[in-house]
Structure 1
């Protein structure tokens, strides 16, 4: 039989009570307490500072509580539908997305304000089925919130001041599997939805 230590039990309850009464960012008693939809609470100033640093993401559970706006330069996203088949998806056509970001000058949001950056034109592919069209709508929402691209060093060329992908993976080839950023890849659509969800796009 296990004998409970009442002092240890009381200590744990006191620690839990202290945790609930203190802001998890500054670890001090709450000042102007702010509660999020996820039920986590913070000092209003602490939350504002965290939001400025990391965007509207709960510092405890990482749930997005607002609209994340990225630093993607201005551009266009268009798409077409065609016959054919995406490997791994039968009885549906192909959605071809075209992203066009022209050259321009970096703003204060970018790594080198006032410097020139090189734009890009990229194509990506989705199956033209129910889930593919749902992902297309989510990608359009992410594009409108300037989350698909950013400015930085190209992973392929190493050149700086380039428009590059920004952690939302795309299939830039119809073939070759995951190693070639292509199909077949049976878990791709669910994975990209999770990446979008992490940025508040759902």
Structure 2
């Protein structure tokens, strides 16, 4: 992403105009990648062409297209006052780049001599992201498989425990029944012999 610095205004430290430090890179709209036409500098200090800003606002919310900071109140107020365009910056751009501004104003193509977008640094080797994705998928599948096996083992242990408890209860019932039958026979024998 292009680093943007505030372009409008006067350099307060030196008290002078910053016109001498204005470069073409400073004057490129991050939306259309062309030289600013009627630049609009938002409260967050990001600057855009007026048409790019208005298109962005029409198509989405009233937020800065770069940092998404809300600018709804500022935009309505400055639209009503007709002060959206940073006139000081617009004058500086027209003075610094008169030919490019004239060509843009007349609708001619301006990027034949300047291409600000380069291939950029490669952040990963070809296929590296796919390999990383596949590794993550494999890792997640292995974790899921291990979790399923753990749940299955825990279920089997619980089933075995419940079966053992049921068997113990059945044995206890049989023992109790046998004792009751034996006691009943003894009582019956005592009654018969008496």
The answer to whether TM tops 0.5 is: no
Question: Could you state the TM-score of these two structures normalised by the residue count of structure 1?
Answer: 0.24
More strand by share: 1
